[in-house]
Amino acid sequence: MKSIGETLQQAAQQLRMAGIPEARREAELLLAACLKRERAWLLAHPEWQLRARELRRFERWLARRARREPLAYITHQRWFYGVQLYVGRGVLIPRPETEQLVELFLRYARQNPTGILVDAGTGSGCIALACLLNAPGWRAVGIDRSRRALRIAARNRDRYALRHRWLLLHADWLAPLRPACVDVILANPPYVLPHERDTLPPEIARYEPKRALLAPRADPLRPYRQLMQQAATVLKPGGWLAMETSLTLADSVRDLLAQCGYYLIETGQPYIVGGERLTHP
């Protein structure tokens, strides 16, 4: 048997040799999840002896992390906007910058206590989940073309007992929605350009779903154009469309919003671009 302290020391060294930043912290998080304990408990009990089966499981997880598989896919845990999510292969791992979409929505919801939100390309459902938990008068529709993603989103929805407020649909962007039926649309389209892929960490480039990550090579703005055109029909007058993008594409996405007849919402964040739909075609 090995103690927690000895195990963490060896694990951190293995991860460090694999090129993983913050190797000690990652080893602690990995072992805490493996033991179903809090990280603070590990730090308070370095002398605790691990059982053989616990050690074998941890060593399997450690080998996966050393191959640069994301921690969230191994532990199936990720925090987003103060909410713990289930995540797995087939969905993007929620990131702090996407929380800006939630903040933008809540700014709208403070003035509009009820309404219908659409989370287009819902993935794990992190955006819709955070919005619904902080805006109890709202309902949501999560749409994704990946059935695996929808299963993960459903798991998060049911974990927080939101089935009665959150509908999940298998479709491409906003195709199944009726005209003028929703108040807010949030989306995180694929925006990593093909030549930028080589600059990504291995955790992202090797493991996260390419269809949700990489912009179309021939026309990187196609997902944004499609969303804006569809949203122009399904949004109610005065409804909002807000999308995450990159610094590289932000100006082009803003120009597209103006061309499609949206009034630009000032967000203060270059990678979140939103517009208010004033008229309908």
Domains annotated for the chain, with CATH where assigned, are 4-67 (1.10.8.10), 78-277 (3.40.50.150)
> What are residue 274's DSSP bridge partners?
242, 265
Going by DSSP bridges, is the β-strand pair 272-277/262-265 parallel, antiparallel, or unpaired?
A: antiparallel
pLDDT of residue 279: 57
What residues contact 110, with CB distance under 8 A and at least 6 apart? none
Cα 180 to its chain centre, rounded Å, is: 27
Distances (CA, A) of 57 to 9, 19, 46, 52, 277: 17, 22, 18, 9, 52
In 3D space, the residue among 139, 100, 90, 91 whose CA is nearest the CA of residue 118 turns out to be 139
What residues contact 2, with CB distance under 8 A and at least 6 apart? 49, 50, 55
- Element (H or E) spanning 95, and its range? none
| pLDDT tens across the length of the chain (281 residues) | 799 999 999 999 999 999 999 999 999 999 999 999 999 999 999 999 999 999 999 999 999 999 999 999 999 999 999 999 999 999 999 999 999 999 999 999 999 999 999 999 999 999 999 999 999 999 999 999 999 999 999 999 999 999 999 999 999 999 999 999 999 999 999 999 988 988 999 999 999 999 999 999 999 999 999 999 999 999 999 999 999 999 999 999 999 999 988 988 877 777 888 888 875 44
In 3D space, the residue among 226, 175, 194, 213 whose CA is nearest the CA of residue 90 turns out to be 213
